[in-house]
Amino acid sequence: MCMNWIGDSSEYLAICGQNQKINLYSYEGCQIGHLTEEKSWILSCKKHPQEKQLVIGCQDGTIRSMQYFTPIVHSFYKDRYAFRDIITDVIIQHLVTEQKARIKCRDVVKKIAIFKNRLAIQLSDRVLIYDSAADDPFDMHYHIKEKVMLKFNCQVLLVASQHIIYCQDCKITCVNFQGQMEHFWCLDSSAQCIQQNGGPDGNESLTIGTTNGQVFKLNLNSAFPILLTKIDTKVSFIDLSSDRDKIAVIDCNNTLTVHSLQTKEILLREANITSAAWNQVINDLLCYTSKDTLHIVTVDYTCHQQPIEGVVVGFNGSSVYCLSSQFVRRIEVQLAQAMYYYLDAGRLKEAYQMARLGVSETDWRKLGNAALLNMELQIARSVFVYLGDYFYLTYIQQLEERQRHGSVQPPDSLMTSTEKLLIEAELACFQGDYKEAAKTFKKANHVERVVGLYTDLRRFTEAKEIMISASGDAESKNGECDFYSEEATRGLLAKHAEWARATKDHRTAATMFIEAGNYGAAIELAAEHGWVDVLLELSRKVDKGDRIHLDLCAKHLAKLGECAFAADCYARIGDVESQLDILIRAAKWDESLSLVQGNPEYTRKVYLPYAQWLAENDSFEEAQAAFARAGLANETVRFLEELASCAVSEFRFDDASWYYWKLSKQCAEVAKGSQDQHTKREYLRRFKDCAKRADVYYVYNNIYRYMKDPFATHVPEAYFNMARYLLQRLGKDDFDGISKVYPSKLYLLFTDLRVVIFEHICFFKVNR
């Protein structure tokens, strides 16, 4: 007996000896079968170091070389691929996540079938049914569900939700998971290939290609197959589109034909094709392999080509699944070219379907813009929702609103060229291509939109140039222009001013407000920042009939200390009273007095504050004259009384005498001019009293100075006579500030002095 490990990875053990056979075992010790049987004992067995060849030597002297291989057993359904590994194991691969699961059967795996979450494995004497979680498309945990104790040989094994289907030449048998046969069908010729199409649980459908060129559709609960189409030669491959309206058939000559099941016509024919697959997402998209090249086509357009190794077995979205040996690779293909083909043809729905399979963000945006231009707002919304572009979604809402109000046409209507140009310009704005947007707005003859665009961009100079240019063009054509109106220009300047104010460029804002004629805003800015020059410019620019703005200018100029300019503003509008108020507030008395000469009705208004100002500046005499000029006799008297009283309280008796003298004159004048006898008597009485007080205070001032000062200005006899006069004049009256002690003391002193002098004179005369 001899043993040898064979296989690509030495995974099989070949044992030979006296039984004249080469028996094959797995590495776990499971007997797989025998490779060959000789006529004598096999004494030696060696494998080729590189090829799958085995050399044996027998007892009868025979030396023979044999080649062995392990046939591929696999099954494919959408994104799951199951294949046999080392004959006794099954590996399930998820083609999206690249996860793999291994099932150890410890028996020879003859056939594999996979469908949705079901997996059927045919062993030597039974069929095992596995399933995974139905609600998780990525679940790879398979658990055994049923064991069907059936032993049969077949060319094709299929599994459904509740059945097992196997094909034996012309006969197709359907059994349930309990091993009971439910249906069988006998065809006219051998079934060459079978595709599972899905369907309701328990009533799935199959597509069958036969050796005589017929293609049938078979429902599991129907006894009669349905003929779909027929070709002239043997069918080697079939695939049904996702909408079940087209079928791809490859014959034994490797010719691909695509048949329409609705019109029964041939839509496409290609030679030298090895395999094909319809896209599971887009019904019209087909891929096929030819001479190691992958082709992705529609009925009328070749979308994509690229070299590959192997044959295509599935096409889901932008993923193509290619089988090479027993390994399936997923290849991502770019279908932007197909999207642009449909885009140029105006078939936006097909273009959107292509984009869904995977294109760049730039391609998505071009599709969205094209949809907007054609008012396919549903497609446009789907595109920009995918991109997460909320600005475009807002614009789509605006278009829908305009569509509801009839300002733009729906997609099934014929849009005018102007509407398309406007939407194109708006799209350019959203993309930031403002130069192109301006050109398109001009092309659509909507120059006002260009002006609005530049205004929103705060490019006011360009907006103004556009307005001037447009007005010139319109005038040359029609002789008149409403667009470049004074109102429109002012509106533009006002927006410029508001923007300048928002950006803290207040002086520019003030200038723009002046040009726009918004004098109120300009005055506010100038006053806020203390710009006297701007206020002066405004006061000269504003029409003299605009009393409101001139009044504002005057008030703010006055607050800023420019009273002369403020008065000029009031002079322009002829408001003498306000002009005088400003001049009086600024103590501009020369201008005020000059102005009041021509407007005598304001004499009292000017001379009263003038008199008060004079009094505050110690010009009491001028103040009294001003009071008198103002015609305020009582005010003059009261003012002089206050002055006299203040002088007395400050011991300025000379000033008090003078004030009382002036007061007596004023009382005399009032009495002289009064027609009322009572008033006349009253003022005459006050005249006498004031005259007396004037005399008394005048004399008392000398006595007071003599008593307080260290020197005398008069001879003693003068003071003696003053004291005599004062005592005689006062009598029993008491005046504020006057003390009778001083004159009495002087009188007694000088009385004694005069006696002594007289005695000396008498003595001198006697002695003589």
Paired tokens of 143? 């658990």
Of 247, 248, 231, 249, nearest to 189 by C-alpha is 231
| Contact of 93 with 107, CB cutoff 8 Å | no
What is the per-residue pLDDT for 195? Answer: 92
- Amino acid at site 655: D
Paired tokens of 724? 């005599």
Other CB atoms within a 10 A radius of the CB of residue 40 amount to 12
| Contact of 184 with 173, CB cutoff 8 Å | yes
Other CB atoms within a 10 A radius of the CB of residue 258 amount to 22
Helices marked H in 55-149 — which ranges?
Answer: none
Q: How far is CA 401 from CA 196, 372, 395, in A?
A: 48, 14, 10
Of 217, 164, 220, 170, nearest to 191 by C-alpha is 170
- The span from the CA of 512 to the CA of 255, in Å, is 79
- The partner residues of 297 in beta bridges, in order of sequence, read 286, 302
- The span from the CA of 442 to the CA of 536, in Å, is 42
What are the helix and strand counts (H, E) for the chain? 24, 34
- The span from the CA of 508 to the CA of 531, in Å, is 12
* Mean pLDDT estimate for the chain: 79
Paired tokens of 358? 């995977």
What is the per-residue pLDDT for 730? Answer: 75
Does 231-333 carry CATH code 3.20.20.140? no
- The span from the CA of 704 to the CA of 657, in Å, is 13
| Contact of 163 with 220, CB cutoff 8 Å | yes
In sequence order, the 6+-apart residues with CB closer than 8 A to the CB of 430 are 391, 392, 395
| Contact of 337 with 324, CB cutoff 8 Å | no
Q: How far is CA 550 from CA 506, 543, 545, 578, 596, in A?
A: 21, 8, 9, 12, 22
Of 12, 108, 111, nearest to 52 by C-alpha is 12
What is the per-residue pLDDT for 299? Answer: 78
What is the three-class DSSP state of 60? coil
* Helix (H) or strand (E) run with residue 549 in it: helix 547-559
What does the domain layout of the chain look like in residue ranges?
Answer: 2-67, 231-333, 650-757
What is the per-residue pLDDT for 236? Answer: 93
| Contact of 193 with 148, CB cutoff 8 Å | no
Paired tokens of 205? 């459908």
Q: What are phi and psi of 76, to 5 degrees?
A: -135, 135
In sequence order, the 6+-apart residues with CB closer than 8 A to the CB of 100 are 91, 92, 93, 94, 140
Residues of the chain predicted below pLDDT 50: 412-414, 472, 474-477, 479-484, 755-759, 761-763, 765-768
Q: At what angle do helices 506-516 and 519-529 cross, to 10 degrees?
A: 150
- The span from the CA of 129 to the CA of 123, in Å, is 11
Predicted structure pTM score: 0.60
Terminal alpha carbon distance of the chain: 203
DSSP-assigned states of every residue in 11-40: -EEEEESTTSEEEEEETTS-EEEEEEE-SS
- The span from the CA of 55 to the CA of 38, in Å, is 13
What is the per-residue pLDDT for 401? Answer: 84
Paired tokens of 415? 């849009």
In sequence order, the 6+-apart residues with CB closer than 8 A to the CB of 191 are 155, 156, 167, 169, 170, 172, 208, 209, 210
Over 509-540, what HEC string results? HHHHHHHHCCHHHHHHHHHHHCCHHHHHHHHH
What is the per-residue pLDDT for 703? Answer: 74
User: If phi over 0 gives left and psi between -120 and 50 gives alpha, with beta otherwise, what is residue 141?
Assistant: beta
In sequence order, the 6+-apart residues with CB closer than 8 A to the CB of 718 are none
